[in-house]
Amino acid sequence: MFWTKIIVTTWLVLCECWTVSAVSADVDIDNSYQYWEIAVENSQRNSWPYLSKNRAVAIRTQRDVSTNVTVADNVVSGVSLSTVLFEPFGYNSSSLQGFSQLMDAGVQSFILDLYYNENSQSWLLCPKSTVLGEQSSPAFSECQNSDFNLTSVVSSMNKFIDSTDNELSINVMFLLLRLHSFSIPPRTNVSDNSLNSNITSLSDSISRIRRIVSPFSFAEYNLPTLGTLLSKYTLRVFPIIVENNLPSNSSYNLLPDASTLYLSSSVKNINTYLQTTSFNILDLQLKYHRQINCTESLVEDSSIKFSYDTEESPFTLNSYWNSIKCGYSPIINHAFKNIIDISTFLDISTWSWAPFQPTATGIDVLSYPDLLTNLTNRGLPNLKDLNVTFTTSSSDQDGYNVTLSDNQNSSLVSTTNSDGDDDQDQDDEYLNRCAVLTRLGWIATSCDRKIGYVCQNLRNSSDFIVVDDKKTYMNAVRDCQSLDGKYDLAAVRNVYEQYKLLSMMTNSTLYFWININSLSTENCWVVGLETDCPYQAVISHRIFIQLITPSSIMALLLFLLLVALQGQRLPVHKNRKHWKKLLNEKLKNEYDGIAS
Ligand SMILES: *[C@@H]1O[C@H](CO)[C@@H](O)[C@H](O)[C@H]1NC(C)=O
Ligand SMILES: *[C@@H]1O[C@H](CO)[C@@H](O)[C@H](O)[C@H]1NC(C)=O
Ligand SMILES: *[C@@H]1O[C@H](CO)[C@@H](O)[C@H](O)[C@H]1NC(C)=O
Ligand SMILES: *[C@@H]1O[C@H](CO)[C@@H](O)[C@H](O)[C@H]1NC(C)=O
Ligand SMILES: *[C@@H]1O[C@H](CO)[C@@H](O)[C@H](O)[C@H]1NC(C)=O
Ligand SMILES: *[C@@H]1O[C@H](CO)[C@@H](O)[C@H](O)[C@H]1NC(C)=O
Ligand SMILES: *[C@@H]1O[C@H](CO)[C@@H](O)[C@H](O)[C@H]1NC(C)=O
Ligand SMILES: *[C@@H]1O[C@H](CO)[C@@H](O)[C@H](O)[C@H]1NC(C)=O
């Protein structure tokens, strides 16, 4: 035990050194091209089929800031399984692999079409036309229930759920069901293997999904907050019927499923027996992406909102982004040539962080604003398509000019931030531990920067005070807290607050500090200056495990190295100075009382 501890400590100490030297090296590269290469390395496309590092952190932060916000306010990315996987890649087990990849890459909502075969009285994943395809082609390899059925879809989900059932990765998911029915003419030459799945009850199958929510799961009438759902109830997956195309004379009886499956309020012709029991009706909107428009205002309501595209009019980056900014979870309903092409959308799928943020490297994007617009020819979203552009001014290293333009070519915001930060030296740039709100979303930047900020009344979360005075992050926090009443630097907890803060940006306030930082632990973003990373133990443990597993011999060697270095201090890094400064500032705030 003792030895293990020493080795762990050694690891963590050495580890930190390596990270720091790697970061310092990054900072020395003064070439935006190379900076960009690093961003590309961290793109979702490059990480496929796993979640990219940036997105893992971004999605986790977004989940954590929303912990006290209703589940209905979540904005997640989604796909329709039939159009994105089954139609293009086959109704067979290879599509199930694609399904697992999508979940791993952070897709959280899925539309699943289910077909009730009135003859065999069982649920199939295949539509009638595809089932009948077997008739014309003897080599037909699709729709075989023996390897592609609702049970195998459920198993794929369970595999993913089990592997992400931990504090770091747990998150909410939505399984949106569209129910259809068909009958096969008698004497059709189709094997029983594609006509009969033996799945006769929807709720029997769906309720096998682990961590599944049901209409009876919650004590409260309204949907719980995200934090309550994930940690108190330890539930994750909402099964919701969003379309019911079963004819009234169908031999399938939905009534027994009412206690397991939610029914979307958008379902037309809700069968009369279901109308009488409203407990499982979920307030839900499903909107065509071109109908979404929140340029005037964005008003919070209690419904869960989804948007979708079509094969004829697929999402563009701009409409996808627009959907997210307006609080609608986009569901991609058009096919890709290669499923990896969805990465481009996934990289812009958080309402909170800007694309590729927070940077896993020492790059401070605010110092190189056009990094974010030069995203061409690399399979990455070209942010020019989002109608938000940043342009650098060549005038001064610390002052930069940012233009944010809209469709009409009119400049919404244009200003120069050249008030000359005090001792902004090169090596704080990697200290991207504080978040600013920009039109593209949050960007991680150096806490020493001087930027305007917004204070929020803790007793009335819709009461904001915009301060144009440019301050460092620490000073902004201190100044908010010293306001009359109970104020703090504003945190952004959902897409509605984000919208509201963005609408307060004027020509003189280009960015706002928001109360989100990773000062206590790298890559662990929390709300508030005094908040510690809730996963400290998990993260250290993970880092240890990740490092130790490849070779424990290596660990021993390093331990011996440490012994050899005993008495000889490990090199102190440039960042120490800044950490000390930040800490001093933090401590000063605690004892100083109110400043000027
Ligand atoms: C959520 O609410 C709890 C209790 O009110 C509070 O302690 C916590 O800081 C809040 N978390 C966030 C991220 O707002
Ligand atoms: C469903 O598919 C799985 C393989 O994915 C298979 O093991 C199982 O037997 C199938 N179920 C039926 C009823 O054919
Ligand atoms: C059905 O298929 C079998 C073999 O695949 C064939 O021998 C038979 O003639 C077919 N029957 C009809 C009615 O098409
Ligand atoms: C369905 O169940 C019956 C008996 O219960 C079995 O004979 C048949 O093979 C099963 N079908 C499939 C597709 O698994
Ligand atoms: C339901 O009614 C339609 C027409 O009214 C008919 O074509 C169909 O076969 C019926 N389905 C069942 C399962 O009885
Ligand atoms: C962006 O692209 C322009 C034109 O290709 C180039 O001049 C500029 O250096 C690039 N900036 C960055 C940060 O890559
Ligand atoms: C925006 O500017 C470009 C070039 O400057 C021009 O071609 C385009 O027509 C303008 N669009 C609008 C809506 O004014
Ligand atoms: C909260 O603040 C907003 C904006 O200042 C104000 O309109 C509203 O009346 C306040 N609500 C309460 C309960 O004080």
Angle between helices 536-548 and 552-565 (to 10 degrees): 100
Q: Which pLDDT does position 455 carry in this prediction? A: 96
Residue-wise pLDDT for 136-177, tens only, equals 777 778 899 999 999 999 999 999 999 999 999 999 999 999
User: Rounded mean pLDDT of 382-388?
Assistant: 66
With a cut of 50, say whether residue 404 has pLDDT above it. Answer: no
Q: Is 409 in the pocket of ligand 7 (CB under 6 A)?
A: yes
User: Rounded mean pLDDT of 230-252?
Assistant: 94
Q: Which pLDDT does position 137 carry in this prediction? A: 77
pLDDT band at 295 (very low <50, low <70, confident <90, very high): confident
Tokens found for residue 527: 């709300």
Residue-wise pLDDT for 31-79, tens only, equals 556 666 777 788 899 889 999 988 999 999 999 999 999 999 999 999 9
Ligand nearest to the backbone CA of 375: 6
Tokens found for residue 118: 């009135």
Which DSSP state fits 295? S
User: Rounded mean pLDDT of 431-437?
Assistant: 88
Of all residues in the chain, the percent with pLDDT exceeding 90 is 49
Q: Which pLDDT does position 427 carry in this prediction? A: 43
**118 vs 28, which has greater pLDDT?**
118
Distance CA 6, CA 22 (A): 24
Distance CA 277, CA 491 (A): 39
Angle between helices 552-565 and 2-28 (to 10 degrees): 80
Q: Which residues of 87-106 are buried (b: 16+ CB within 10 A; e: fewer)?
A: bebbbbeebbebbebbbbbb
- Please state which of the ranges 85-99, 261-275, 313-327 shows the lowest mean pLDDT: 261-275
Closest protein CA for atom 6 of ligand 4: 198
- Please state which of the ranges 135-144, 217-226, 300-309, 439-448 shows the lowest mean pLDDT: 135-144
What does the mean pLDDT of the chain come to?
Answer: 79
Q: Which pLDDT does position 220 carry in this prediction? A: 81
- H/E element, 19: helix 2-28
With a cut of 50, say whether residue 393 has pLDDT above it. Answer: no
**C-alpha of residue 409 to centroid of ligand 7, in Å:** 6
pLDDT band at 565 (very low <50, low <70, confident <90, very high): low
Residue-wise pLDDT for 117-135, tens only, equals 999 999 999 999 999 887 7
Which DSSP state fits 237? E
Distance CA 358, CA 394 (A): 25
- Please state which of the ranges 217-226, 351-360, 380-389 shows the lowest mean pLDDT: 380-389
Cβ 578 vs Cβ 26: under 8 Å: no
Q: Which pLDDT does position 398 carry in this prediction? A: 34
Closest protein CA for atom 10 of ligand 7: 409
**C-alpha of residue 346 to centroid of ligand 6, in Å:** 24
pLDDT band at 587 (very low <50, low <70, confident <90, very high): very low
- Please state which of the ranges 86-90, 309-313, 585-589 shows the lowest mean pLDDT: 585-589
Q: Which pLDDT does position 420 carry in this prediction? A: 32
Q: Which pLDDT does position 560 carry in this prediction? A: 64
Q: Which pLDDT does position 4 carry in this prediction? A: 44
pLDDT band at 516 (very low <50, low <70, confident <90, very high): very high
Which DSSP state fits 285? E
Mutate to test the pocket of ligand 2, among 99, 100, 120, 146 (most ligand atoms within 8 A of CB): 146
Distance CA 55, CA 105 (A): 9
Cβ 71 vs Cβ 229: under 8 Å: yes
Cβ 321 vs Cβ 386: under 8 Å: yes
Tokens found for residue 272: 């009369």
**C-alpha of residue 229 to centroid of ligand 1, in Å:** 14
CA 551 to chain CA centroid, Å, is: 33
Distance CA 87, CA 195 (A): 18
Tokens found for residue 550: 């490849």
With a cut of 70, say whether residue 422 has pLDDT above it. Answer: no
**C-alpha of residue 61 to centroid of ligand 4, in Å:** 47
With a cut of 50, say whether residue 574 has pLDDT above it. Answer: no
Closest protein CA for atom 13 of ligand 1: 65
Q: Which pLDDT does position 589 carry in this prediction? A: 46
pLDDT band at 538 (very low <50, low <70, confident <90, very high): low
407 Cα nearest atom in ligand 7: 13
Q: Which pLDDT does position 485 carry in this prediction? A: 84
- H/E element, 571: none
**503 vs 385, which has greater pLDDT?**
503
Which amino acid, 326? C
pLDDT band at 384 (very low <50, low <70, confident <90, very high): low
Q: Is 546 in the pocket of ligand 3 (CB under 6 A)?
A: no
Of all residues in the chain, the percent with pLDDT exceeding 70 is 70
With a cut of 70, say whether residue 1 has pLDDT above it. Answer: no
Q: Which pLDDT does position 465 carry in this prediction? A: 93
Closest protein CA for atom 3 of ligand 7: 409
